[in-house]
Amino acid sequence: MVDLEDFRAMLIERVEEWSREIEKKGRKEGHKEGLERGLKKGLEEGRRELLLRQLELKFGEIDERIRSRVRAAGPERLLRWGERLERLADVFRR
């Protein structure tokens, strides 16, 4: 039979073990979430750079107004614009 002091010590040990497990799981989830966010941001930035490069190669120097629009665009809009590279006026139509 376990006396009260031994039981208390076992309980404290178990709670500390659970705390470590929860902390470890939280760190792992946080790391995964941060990695996913970083990859998404990197992909989006790559799309921006690619679109700007394609525009410059096809139409020459791109003015700051167009660069600002590309920098502010979301991922879906960047993809749509990238599909319309025949004429500069067509790229940015809604």
Q: pLDDT at position 1, please? A: 65
Q: Which residue's structure tokens are 């139509």?
A: 93
* Residues constituting the chain: 94
- Which pTM does this prediction carry? 0.63
pLDDT tens-digit profile of 38-81? 999 999 999 999 999 999 999 899 999 999 999 999 999 998 89
The answer for residues whose C-beta is within 8 angstroms of residue 67's C-beta and 6 or more apart is 52
- pLDDT at 85 > cutoff 70: yes
- pLDDT at 93 > cutoff 90: no
CB atoms within 10 A of CB 55: 21
Q: pLDDT at position 70, please? A: 95
**Distance in angstroms between the alpha carbons of the first and the last residue of the chain:** 77
Q: pLDDT at position 3, please? A: 86
